[in-house]
């Protein structure tokens, strides 16, 4: 698990395609101290450290990872957002992030508003049920608040700290990003889908009978 609080922007130094794509990344996080087999989020995708040395470490990306994320388009010299896995007892400053990318989105619009930088992204239809105003979203591994959501797009604002410490501020319209919907929101959306949401015309939705069947007893 991760928090979506970026710890470093690393630099890809080498990529070797193959049955498994090897990616070497230089970081200031002290790669020599990494444990082989530990998880690290690279632009929001949870990958495994398989080699380390000095200030560089190597991860491997499976074909599924390349299909579902932006990593397949990365090149040597590209900057990536990095976060090591959450340790029990650490402060959860962002929100619960699994590192499992749900979809690739794209930047639709950017503009300044006061000291913040507003970014508008395409909202994939399959993720729309997980998005609410002031809810959480992970974009390229960054925990952000959804400031506004419409049928096919959503908006976030980057404070100066986020602009400086991550790669997101440098991405303009047309750039692709990794999206992970809010973990709790996905489970709620899944529950409604299984039970049949009223707006979908599939059934009664979350009723008292559904709550009782799940083992809860409503009060009041």
Separation of alpha carbons 113 and 135, rounded Å: 20
95 catalytic? Reply is no
The SS3 of residue 169 is: helix
27 catalytic? Reply is no
39 catalytic? Reply is yes
192 catalytic? Reply is no
100 catalytic? Reply is yes
Annotated catalytic residue: which of 41, 46, 130, 189?
46
Annotated catalytic residue: which of 16, 28, 48, 76?
48
Annotated catalytic residue: which of 11, 39, 98, 116?
39
Going through the chain in order, the beta strands assigned E by DSSP cover 8-16, 21-26, 39-42, 45-53, 56-61, 79-84, 103-113, 116-122, 136-139, 142-145, 148-149, 153-158, 176-181
Separation of alpha carbons 163 and 200, rounded Å: 39
Q: Indicate which residues carry an active-site annotation.
A: 2, 39, 46, 48, 62, 100, 145
């Amino acid at each position: 698990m991760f928090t979506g609080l970026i710890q470093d922007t690393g630099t890809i130094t080498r990529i070797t395609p193959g049955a498994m794509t090897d990616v070497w990344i230089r970081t200031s996080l002290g790669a020599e101290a990494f444990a082989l087999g530990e998880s690290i989020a690279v632009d929001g995708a949870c990958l495994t450290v398989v080699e380390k040395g000095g200030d560089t470490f190597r991860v491997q990306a499976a074909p599924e990872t390349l299909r579902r994320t932006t990593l397949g388009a990365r090149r040597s010299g590209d900057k990536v957002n990095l976060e090591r896995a959450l340790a029990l007892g650490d402060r959860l400053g962002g929100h619960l992030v699994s590192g499992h990318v749900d979809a690739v989105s794209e930047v639709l619009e950017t503009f300044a508003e006061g000291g913040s930088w507003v970014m508008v992204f395409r909202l994939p239809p399959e993720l729309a049920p997980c998005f609410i105003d002031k809810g959480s979203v992970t974009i390229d591994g960054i925990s952000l608040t959804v400031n506004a959501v419409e049928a096919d797009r959503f908006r976030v604002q980057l404070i100066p700290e986020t602009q400086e410490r991550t790669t997101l501020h440098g991405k303009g319209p047309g750039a692709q990003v990794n999206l992970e919907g809010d973990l709790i929101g996905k489970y709620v959306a899944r529950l409604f889908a299984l039970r049949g949401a009223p707006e979908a015309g599939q059934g009664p939705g979350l009723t008292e009978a559904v709550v009782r069947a799940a083992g809860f007893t409503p009060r009041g």
